[in-house]
Amino acid sequence: MSSYPLQLPEELMQEVRRLAEVNQVPLEQWLITVISRHVAAERSLSHLWQAAQAADYDRFDQILARVPDVNPMPGDEL
């Protein structure tokens, strides 16, 4: 495992400690979990952007054109 000296503003550190305590986990575990979640979210966002860049919008329009123009079913209204 790697280590990295991290300096945080005191107010942020107090909140991080509080959240780790509320979640009943050691501070280090809480930080690892939060950082891991953020990295996963960034990866997902990157993947979605790549997929959007590769999208065939003409094909998308063709598919949407097949949807009938009818009123929504009861309960599905916006």
What is the per-residue pLDDT for 35? 98
The DSSP result for 52-75, as a single string, is: HHT--HHHHHHHHHTS---PPPTT
Tokens found for residue 65: 């054109």
Distance of alpha carbon 1 from the chain centroid: 25
What is the per-residue pLDDT for 57? 94
- Model pLDDT for residues 25-70, shown as the tens digit of each residue: 999 999 999 999 999 999 999 999 999 999 999 999 999 999 999 9
Query: pTM of this prediction?
Result: 0.68
Tokens found for residue 21: 């305590």
21-45 per-residue burial string, b: 16 or more CB within 10 A, e: under 16: eeeeeeeeebbeeeeeeeeeeeeee
